[in-house]
Amino acid sequence: MAALRGEVSWFCCGSAWGPCGTAGGGACGTCSSGNYQHAWPNTSDACLAITRPDRCGVTGMARRGCGFRHYTTNLCNGARVGTTIADCGPQTDLFCGERTCCGSACGSNRIIDLTPAAYSAIASLSAGLRPCSVDTV
Amino acid sequence: MIDLIATLQPLVVGAVLIWSARVKLVSTHAAAAANRSALARLVGQDRALPAYRLLGGMEVTLGGLLLLPPVLRAEALAATVLAVAFLGYLAYARRAAPTSSCGCLSARPTPVSGRSLARAGLLAVAGGLALLATEGWSTALAGRPPAGVGVLLVELAAVVALSPELDHVWLLPLRRLRARLTHPLRGGSGVPLLATVQQLQLSDAYRRVAPLLRSDVREHWDDGDWRFVGHAARYQGRLVTAVFAVPLTDREPDAVRVAVVDNATGHTLLSLAGTPPAAGPRLSVVPA
Amino acid sequence: MNQTLDRRRLLATAALGGVVGATGLGSLAPEAAFAAEPATIDSGAPDPNFAEGRISKISGSMLLVTGSDTVLHSIRITDGTSIWKLHPTTFDKVAIGDGLYARGVRLPDGTLAADSVWLNIVNLHGHIAAVGRNVLHLDHQGRRIVAHVVPDRSAAVYNGTPAVSDLSLLRVGRHVQVLGAWHPDTNEVDIATVYAAA
C-alpha cells in the first residue's frame, strides 16, 4: 500500500472513565485506550458500509483485518507510531473534504483514529486533528 | 367509539408494517442498515441481511393481509405477536448492543431509544385492539368519516412523534427555527487559543522545533499584539522552554518566532525569527 | 506572581529576539540544531510511558491514579508538566476523581514523570439533537450528552477553517466532533473545540 495522506484523530475504547465507558473493546474486541491500536475504515464490508471513504474520493484504502499493523506519521513533527487495528472507524464520510495543515503539509479526509496512548505519542490530545500519512512499513 | 377505533387498527398496523418493510426490501441502504442493527449481533454478521430481508417479507405480507379484506382475527393476532416479538427484540438490542441502530422505519442510523420501544408497544396495543374488530376498516371509515379520520390522524401523529427516524422531517426543522429566532449559541469574542496554536503550527518555526517539544501547551499569555505560547522541551540534554510568539490578530504564520530558553540559567539557547519568504535561507538561526 | 511575570518577560523578550549575550552556540545549521533525540515508537501493546485512569489521591506533586484496568500508577507532576483541563491550567486545578491521560517518562522506580497530563479530556462524535442557551445536546452512540459552551474558551472549527470563538454557525441535525472536558460529577461536558463538517 502506498502511503495514504489524510487526517488522524483519536478515540477512546476499552473499559475507561467518562463517556468512553460504553465504548467497549471495539469491533475486534481487543481495543484499549492504553494500547498502541487504531481504528481503520475498511476492516470488513459491514465496516466500509458505515465509514464510506469512497464518498469523499478516498481511494487506496486497503481491506485490513483486526491486528494488522499500520504506521502513522504526524506531518507536523515527523513523529511516527506503529499501531494495530482494533476497531472500525473513523466515519470518513461525515467530514468529507475537511483539511488540516501544518506548514505546507496538509491532509484531507479522516482516514485513521488512534487510541489516546498512540495519538499522544505523536501529537497532543488537545489538538484533536492532525495531518498524517499512513503506511504499512 | 371503541368499536370504531378497534376497526381502524388493521389499517394503522398494516400501513406501519408496509412502511417498515419498505426500507428492508427496497432501500439501497438495506445492507448497511442490517449491519448496523442488533441483528448482526443476534444472528451473526453474515446472516444479518437475509434475516433483515426475511423480516421485511413478513411485514409486507402481514401488512397487505391486514389492509385487504376480509378481516380475519388470525391476522390481527399475528400482527400482535409480531409487534410483541419486535418489542422484545428492541429491549434486547438496547441492553446487549446499545450502540446498534434500530433499523426500524428507515435506513438512517437511529439508536434504539425509549421512543422506539414506546412505538413498538403502541403497535402491540393496536394489534390487540384489532382483535376486537368486527367489520372492515373501509366500511367503518365510510360510515363515520370525520371521527374515523380523526382517530387515524391522532394515531399517525403518535407514530410520527415516537419515530426518531422522522425527527429530521419535523422536529429538527422546528429546533433549527427556534435556534434561528433565539440565537442560543454565542461562544465568546476574541481569538481562541486554538486559533493561535493552529497558526503556530502552520509556521516553519514550529515545524523546526516540533521534534524538541515534550509537553502540550504549558502556559500562554497575551502581551500587546503578540500571544506567547510555552511548551516544555528538551534540547541537547537540557530541560528548556520553547516559547513561541504568535501575532494575535493577523494571520501571519511567517511572522511566528520561537526561542529555546534554558530553564536552569534563563539563557536563550536558540531563536528562530520568521523571515521573509522567497530567496535565501528561509530561517535564520540567531546565535543568542 | 512577580516570579511568573519576570519569567514571562524573560521568555517574551527571548522569543521576540531581544536577548544578547547568552550562551554562544555558534551558527548551527537549523537541521543540525533540531535533529532532536528521535522517539522511535513501535508496538501493539501497552506503552509504559503512558497512563490512563482516575485520580484517587493527590500527595504533594504526586498523583495516584487507578487505571481502568485496575493497575495503579504514580504520576509525578514537575515544573515542566503541561496540565490540560479544558485549557492549559495549573496543578491546583487537579482534583480527586478526575479522569486522566498522562504521557511522560517511566522512571526506574515505576513512577511516571509526566510531560503532559490531560484531565477529563474526551473526544466525542455525535449529532446535534438540540441547542439551548449555550448548550448542545448531542446524540452520541444512542445516548444523549449535554455539552456546554464556555464563553471565551470554546472554539469552533468549521470544516477545517481557522478556529473561531463564534459557535453560532452550528446547526441542529449536523454531525460534530467535540473535544472537551468531562465533568465527573454530572457526566456532562464542557466544549474546548467543536469540529463541524461543511
Give pLDDT tens digits for B58-92.
Answer: 989 988 888 887 777 888 888 888 889 989 988 88
Number of H helices, E strands in chain A: 2, 8
**Of C158, C159, C152, C138, whose CA–CA distance to C192 is shortest?**
C152
Q: Which residues in B lie closer than 8 A to residue C33 (C-beta atoms)? A: 270, 285
Distance from CA of B118 to the nearest CA of A (A): 24
Across the interface, whether the CB atoms of C165 and B188 are under 8 A apart is answered yes
Ordered by start, the domain boundaries in chain B are 2-182, 193-286
Task: Report the sign of the C-alpha dihedral through residues C157, C162, C167, C169, in that order.
Answer: negative
- The answer, yes or no, to whether residue C44 has pLDDT greater than 60, is no
Q: Give the model confidence (pLDDT) of B252-278 as tens digits.
A: 888 999 999 999 999 999 888 765 443
Q: What are the beta bridge partners of residue C173? A: none
User: Does C50-119 carry CATH code 3.30.300.30?
Assistant: no
ipTM: 0.93
Stretch C143-170: mean pLDDT: 90
Fold for the domain defined by A4-15+22-130: Barwin-like endoglucanases (2.40.40)
Which pLDDT value is given to residue C26? 35
Which pLDDT value is given to residue B115? 87
The residue ranking higher by pLDDT, C30 or B240, is: B240
CB proximity B191 to C under 8 Å: yes
Q: Does the N-terminal peptide bond of residue B70 adopt cis geometry, omega within 30 degrees of 0?
A: yes
Neighbouring chains to A with at least 3 Cβ pairs closer than 8 Å: B, C
Q: Which three cell numbers stand for residue B131?
A: 382483535
Q: Which residues in B lie closer than 8 A to residue A44 (C-beta atoms)? A: 45
Q: Give the model confidence (pLDDT) of B108-141 as tens digits.
A: 777 788 888 999 999 999 988 888 887 888 888 8
| Interface residues from chain A to B (CB-CB < 8 Å) | 22, 44-46, 49-50, 76-79, 101-103, 124-127
Q: Which single residue is written with the C-alpha cell 408496509?
A: B18
pLDDT bucket at A130, cuts 50 / 70 / 90: very high
Distance from CA of B232 to the nearest CA of C (A): 5
Q: What are the beta bridge partners of residue C104? A: C114
Distance from CA of A103 to the nearest CA of C (A): 14
- Asked if residues B251 and B258 have their Cβ atoms less than 8 Å apart, the reply is no
**By mean pLDDT, which of B43-52, B156-165, C56-65 is the weakest?**
B43-52
Candidate from C8, C17, C134 with C-beta closest to B184: C134
Which pLDDT value is given to residue A1? 66
CB proximity B24 to C under 8 Å: no
As a whole number, the mean pLDDT across chain B is 84
Which pLDDT value is given to residue B35? 78
- The answer, yes or no, to whether residue C88 has pLDDT greater than 50, is yes
Fold for the domain defined by C121-196: OB fold (Dihydrolipoamide Acetyltransferase, E2P) (2.40.50)
Which pLDDT value is given to residue B275? 54
Q: Give the model confidence (pLDDT) of B6-46 as tens digits.
A: 888 888 888 999 988 888 888 877 887 887 788 887 888 78
Which pLDDT value is given to residue B34? 83
Which pLDDT value is given to residue C142? 72
**Of C105, C92, C97, C100, whose CA–CA distance to C60 is shortest?**
C92
- Asked if residues A20 and C101 have their Cβ atoms less than 8 Å apart, the reply is no
Distance from CA of C99 to the nearest CA of B (A): 17
Across the interface, whether the CB atoms of B216 and A76 are under 8 A apart is answered no
Q: Testing the interface with C: which of A95, A99, A114 to mutate, by most C Cβ within 10 A?
A: A95
Which pLDDT value is given to residue C27? 33
- Asked if residues B75 and B65 have their Cβ atoms less than 8 Å apart, the reply is yes
- Asked if residues B207 and B218 have their Cβ atoms less than 8 Å apart, the reply is no
The residue ranking higher by pLDDT, C82 or B279, is: C82
Ordered by start, the domain boundaries in chain C are 50-119, 121-196
Across the interface, whether the CB atoms of C44 and A12 are under 8 A apart is answered no
Candidate from A36, A80, A128 with C-beta closest to C195: A128
